[in-house]
Amino acid sequence: MLYKSTRGKVKNIQFKEAVMMGLAEDGGLLIPQEIPHISSSELIKLSSLSYQELAFELISKFTDDIKRDTLKDIINKSYSTFEISDVIPVVKKGDIYIAEIFHGPTYAFKDIALQFLGNLFEYILEETGQKLNILGATSGDTGSAAIYGVRGKKNINIFILHPKGKVSPIQELQMTTVTDSNVFNLAVDGTFDDCQFIVKKIFSDVDFKKQYSLGAVNSINWARILAQIVYYFHCYFKAAKGEKVNIVVPTGNFGNIFAGYFAKLMGLPINKLILATNENNILSRFVNNGDYSIKSVCETYSPSMDIQIASNFERYLFYLYNSPEKVVEKMNELKTNKKISFTEEDMKIVKDDFASYSTSNDETLSTIKSFYESFNYILDPHTACGVNAANKLGKIELNICLATAHPAKFYDAIYKAIGKFPEEPENIKKLKELPKKLYEIENDTEKVKDFLIEKLS
């Protein structure tokens, strides 16, 4: 399998090179040059596999430059850190299936991709004798999951930017209590979109990127999307009996739902992907009204979705238009006008694949409360946005909602909703007693560059 850029100037690169490149050198995002197709007979065979076996069968379709036994070892090592041997339990609550994709080391779905990516990086670096300096931005869960994926690993440093005071207290603790010498947490005086802009601006400086061996761990890295594709198949096999399903996905950066979109392109029988957002609803406005215009970010109870610029949206644009020239045109339009325009014909295609609902802060709390009263089950605020979207959709087809984080990571919102705190896992309780390491920095690309230069020299 070879990879190419959404912007057309990078192509014919191997999987391992794509992993290390992260953002394509023409500023685009990397995608496979072909889409592997899963037949109905192969679906039946895959349905009986364990999560680890399923991951191997699907991921190996995208990797032909890693030996099969090595890939199996990487996958098995990645999911040995999860609390549940089958990785993702799927539970039925009323008319909806809840897929708990948060049982990794940091209790967020990002662990599924980032445990895999961390081990993949370690293998490639050991094989090539290279060093890697990861630079990423987080709205909450990506940062801690990335840090836990690479902490203490040889030949890797990690620099994570987060918006100061705009992630949950537990999310901040999970990042800042990792004091390994290869981990650097930067609190930026701005929003997540500011952090993401700084990262993309630094990566677009190709000479700087090469000089300091920078790599991406955000969902711009194809390996993260690849690892996430697996759980769409897994959840389908757990809940469906051969019929088409709707899968409800809380998402702000479009990476989680893009993995589902790609699974559908591969042949997974998904009817619609239901895109659930909070009040930062650029993606809902896009799906419902063709309105992809950047507005200011507001703080919500679901901070991982407090995003206006969805970095994975460019990948969807490529498949919408099947034209790198059109992608470049649309991304330039976004840069210049702070919005992208779509035709009625475009939107007919979009609405065939997606439906979308946004959830207000009040609705988030009321959904947590009503779901708890009905099923004695606590949703985290992001998953509550998904369940609210499923409720608005109604019982038309079988609905699976991805539960993206443990509720204990958002205890203030849970307390407001149900009048009690969720039970904290022991590993979260321990964080409050640990020392912290954190660097505060201005919202300025050059300041971040200077910090990197200082630490890496």
Residue-by-residue DSSP string for 357-390: EE--HHHHHHHHHHHHHHHS-PPPHHHHHHHHHH
Q: What is the predicted pLDDT for the residue at 242?
A: 80
Q: What is the predicted pLDDT for the residue at 155?
A: 93
Determine contact, residues 166/191, Cβ cutoff 8 Å: yes
In the set 4, 110, 238, 272, the catalytic residue is 110
Q: What is the predicted pLDDT for the residue at 396?
A: 64
DSSP per position, 200-240: HHHHH-HHHHHHTTEEE-STTSHHHHHHHHHHHHHHHHHH-
Which domains does the chain carry? 90-107+223-418 (3.40.50.1100)
> For the chain, which ranges sit under pLDDT 70?
395-396
String of b and e for 215-244 (b: at least 16 CB within 10 Å)?
Answer: bbbbbbbbbbbbbbbbbbbbbbbbbbeeee
Q: How far apart are CA 131 and CA 378, in angstroms?
A: 42
Write out pLDDT tens, residues 217-259: 877 899 999 999 999 999 999 998 788 899 999 998 899 999 9
Determine contact, residues 404/380, Cβ cutoff 8 Å: yes
How many other C-beta atoms are found inside a 10 Å radius of the C-beta of residue 5?
24
Structure tokens at 45: 């065979």
Active site annotation includes 110? yes
Please identify which residue in the block is written with the tokens 């809380």.
250
Q: What is the predicted pLDDT for the residue at 421?
A: 95
String of b and e for 389-404 (b: at least 16 CB within 10 Å)?
Answer: bbbebeeeebbbbbbb
List beta partners, residue 358: 277
Q: What is the predicted pLDDT for the residue at 68?
A: 97
Structure tokens at 329: 């045109």
- This prediction has a pTM of 0.92
Q: How far apart are CA 275 and CA 138, in angstroms?
A: 20
Distance of CA 351 to the CA centre of its chain: 22
Q: How far apart are CA 247 and CA 254, in angstroms?
A: 14
Q: How far apart are CA 122 and CA 243, in angstroms?
A: 40
Taking the CA of residue 157 as centre, how many other CA atoms within 13 Å lie in the half-sphere pointing to its CB? 16
